[in-house]
């Protein structure tokens, strides 16, 4: 089942809090993981597939790019939108992320408006609050 | 911060109305104070009332221009509102490709382009979705009253926050290149746009052609009813009879404006000449 849940994957706890807060303001329910591997474990242990994952690039154990490649190989996650949120602003990395299956790319630092704008571009309307 | 007194605020309102037809409501004193602070520091030791007085009475066009530009609303971003892409992709360009298939010309005007994101969005849309236009003579004019906004538009150089707002990552990678911390539109896309200084409420250049598509988005809402009618009447003369006018997503036109909804029953923001 797809819901208005969002998964925040970032090795920085502060960043997870900030992103989680911004997403909650947009009406999302959020869960979080500190690296790609933790995120996969979380996804596999839950019947609910988030409609969105915010993915950092540089993380220990499994980085953002490896996470994107891993989930894009599994058809059950094909509807999950992947937004890379990173301070990596090289065109080459952007292209690499998009080629691997990311839907969009947001460069840090960013405003809450820029995040909302990206979600809208990705076809994700502001989630309805319960 | 110095506060603007009633007399100075009235002077400022009149100046903005005269220069760019900006109708500043009475309750925006705080906005004027915030926007003119820096300029007042540079020119009148932080005294905003003195700044307004100087700009409105002394024959100092440069200061007047600086003040008006500081008060102007330059809010814009790439692919602002889905109606921009939708109207280009679904209606306007497909129809015009058919209507202009003999002379193969297409003329588009971004009539208040501010810092240029709208014009670049159009150039990218045409490039990505209508490759056949490479054989056509496509004119894309982007204009604004503000020289500083136009300079930025012409450079096509944007900071991170501007790049993050509305621009798909694919377009960023395809059409922009990094310049330090900023990103600049590649020459191939910049060269497709002709930038001109045009104040909508002053004289327009004689060379301004009749356009197939006019983008007049989020501008009319700042004008008085009188200025709005005057500008629309002139825009009508510069819009081909079978052309289109696109406004901002929350704007609509009165029945007397000389335009009718391009999609019957849908009263905004997409119009054709009546």
Q: What pLDDT, in 10s, does the model give residues A27-76?
A: 999 999 999 999 999 999 988 899 999 999 999 999 999 999 999 999 99
Rounded distance between C-alpha atoms, residue B239 and residue A123, angstroms? 33
Position A128 pLDDT exceeds 50 = no
A64 contacts in chain B (CB < 8 Å): none
Task: List the single residue in B with minimal CA-CA distance to A116.
Answer: B165
- Distance (Å) from the C-alpha of residue A70 to the closest C-alpha of chain B? 21
Which among A94, A98, A110 has the least Cβ separation from residue B164? A110
Q: Which of B71, B99, B123 is the last residue of a domain?
A: B71
Count of pairs with CB atoms under 8 A, one residue in A, one in B = 43
Q: Is residue A94 part of a domain?
A: yes
- Check B178 against A105: CB less than 8 A apart: no
Whole-number pLDDT of residue B1 = 55
Position A123 pLDDT exceeds 50 = yes
Q: Answer yes or no: are the C-beta atoms of B232 and B254 closer than 8 Å.
A: no
Q: How confident is the model at residue B58 (pLDDT cuts 50, 70, 90)?
A: confident
- Check B164 against A118: CB less than 8 A apart: yes
Domain that holds residue A53: 2-121
Position B37 pLDDT exceeds 50 = yes
Residues B62/B68/B72/B74 CA torsion (nearest 10 deg): 0
Which among A89, A97, A121 has the least Cβ separation from residue B166? A121
Q: How confident is the model at residue B140 (pLDDT cuts 50, 70, 90)?
A: very high
pLDDT in tens, A71-121: 999 999 999 999 999 998 888 899 999 999 999 999 988 988 889 989 988
- Check B172 against A94: CB less than 8 A apart: yes
Q: Are residues B109 and B58 in the same domain?
A: no
> Please, what is the angle between helix B61-71 and helix B29-43, to 10°?
140
Contacts of B64 (CB under 8 A, 6+ apart): B15, B19, B55, B56
Rounded distance between C-alpha atoms, residue B195 and residue B142, angstroms? 5
Q: Answer yes or no: are the C-beta atoms of A52 and A124 closer than 8 Å.
A: yes
- Check A90 against B178: CB less than 8 A apart: yes
Which among B161, B166, B168 has the least Cβ separation from residue A110? B161
Q: Is residue B77 part of a domain?
A: no
More confident residue, A62 or B266: A62
Whole-number pLDDT of residue B135 = 94
DSSP per-residue string spanning A22-77: HHHHTT-EEEEESSHHHHHHHHHT-SPEEEEEEE-SS-SSS-HHHHHHHHHT-GGG
Domain count, chain B: 2
Q: Are residues B100 and B46 in the same domain?
A: no
Q: Are residues B267 and B144 in the same domain?
A: yes
Whole-number pLDDT of residue A129 = 41
Q: Are residues B100 and B155 in the same domain?
A: yes
Q: Are residues B113 and B38 in the same domain?
A: no
Q: Are residues B178 and B259 in the same domain?
A: yes
Mean pLDDT of chain B: 92
- Distance (Å) from the C-alpha of residue B166 to the closest C-alpha of chain A? 6
Which among B161, B166, B178 has the least Cβ separation from residue A91? B178
Position A130 pLDDT exceeds 50 = no
Q: Chain centroid to CA A56: how far?
A: 8
Helix (H, G, I), strand (E, B), or coil: what is residue B52? helix
B163 contacts in chain A (CB < 8 Å): 107
ipTM over 0.95: no
Q: Is residue A7 part of a domain?
A: yes
Task: List the single residue in A with minimal CA-CA distance to B161.
Answer: A110
Which among B161, B172, B177 has the least Cβ separation from residue A111? B161
pLDDT in tens, B97-130: 999 999 999 999 999 999 999 999 999 999 999 9
Domain that holds residue B57: 6-71
Contacts of B102 (CB under 8 A, 6+ apart): none
Position B157 pLDDT exceeds 70 = yes
More confident residue, B166 or B212: B212
- Check B173 against A94: CB less than 8 A apart: yes
Q: Is residue B1 part of a domain?
A: no
The conformation of residue B205, written as its DSSP 8-state character, comes to P
Q: Are residues B205 and B115 in the same domain?
A: yes
Whole-number pLDDT of residue A67 = 97
B160 contacts in chain A (CB < 8 Å): 89, 107, 109-110
Position A1 pLDDT exceeds 60 = no
Going through B180-228 in order, the beta strands assigned E by DSSP cover 182-185, 193-197, 211-215
- Distance (Å) from the C-alpha of residue B182 to the closest C-alpha of chain A? 10
**Residue in A22, A89, A103, A109 to test binding to B, most B beta-carbons within 10 Å:** A89
Q: Answer yes or no: are the C-beta atoms of B44 and B54 closer than 8 Å.
A: yes
pLDDT in tens, B200-257: 999 999 999 999 999 999 998 888 888 899 999 999 999 999 999 999 888 888 877 8
Q: Is residue A107 part of a domain?
A: yes
């Amino acid at each position: 089942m797809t819901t208005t849940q969002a998964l925040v994957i970032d090795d920085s706890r502060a960043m997870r809090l900030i992103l989680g807060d911004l997403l909650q303001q947009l009406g999302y329910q959020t869960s979080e993981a500190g690296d790609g591997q933790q995120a996969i474990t979380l996804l596999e242990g839950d019947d609910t597939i988030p409609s969105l994952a915010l993915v950092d690039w540089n993380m220990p154990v499994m980085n953002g790019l490896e996470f994107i490649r891993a989930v894009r190989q599994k058809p059950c996650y094909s509807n999950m939108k992947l937004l890379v949120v990173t301070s990596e602003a090289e065109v080459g990395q952007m292209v690499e992320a998009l080629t691997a299956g990311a839907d969009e790319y947001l460069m840090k630092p960013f405003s809450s408006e820029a995040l909302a704008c990206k979600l809208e571009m990705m076809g994700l309307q502001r989630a309805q609050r319960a | 911060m110095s506060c603007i007194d009633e007399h100075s605020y009235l002077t400022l309102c009149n100046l903005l109305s005269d220069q760019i037809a900006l109708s500043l409501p009475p309750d925006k004193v705080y906005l004027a104070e915030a926007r003119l602070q820096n300029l007042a520091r540079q020119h009148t030791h932080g005294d905003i009332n003195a700044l307004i007085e100087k700009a409105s009475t002394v024959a100092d066009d440069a200061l007047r221009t600086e003040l008006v530009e500081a008060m102007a609303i330059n809010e814009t971003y790439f692919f602002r509102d889905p109606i921009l892409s939708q109207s280009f992709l679904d209606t306007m360009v497909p129809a015009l490709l058919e209507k202009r298939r003999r002379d193969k010309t297409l003329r588009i005007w971004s009539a208040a382009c501010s810092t240029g994101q709208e014009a670049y969005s159009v150039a990218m849309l045409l490039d990505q979705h209508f490759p056949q236009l490479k054989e056509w003579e496509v004119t894309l004019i982007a204009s604004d009253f503000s020289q500083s906004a136009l300079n930025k538009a012409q450079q096509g150089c944007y900071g991170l926050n501007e790049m993050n707002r509305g621009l798909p990552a694919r377009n960023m990678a395809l059409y922009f290149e990094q310049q330090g911390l900023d990103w600049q539109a590649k020459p191939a896309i910049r060269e497709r746009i002709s930038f001109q200084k045009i104040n909508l409420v002053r004289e327009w250049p004689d060379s301004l052609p009749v356009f197939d598509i006019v983008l007049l988005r989020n501008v009319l809402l700042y004008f008085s009813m009188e200025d709005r009618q005057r500008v629309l009447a002139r825009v009508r003369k510069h819009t081909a009879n079978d052309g289109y006018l696109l406004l901002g997503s929350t704007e609509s036109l009165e029945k007397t404006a000389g335009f009718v909804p391009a999609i019957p029953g849908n009263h905004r923001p997409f119009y054709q000449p009546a």
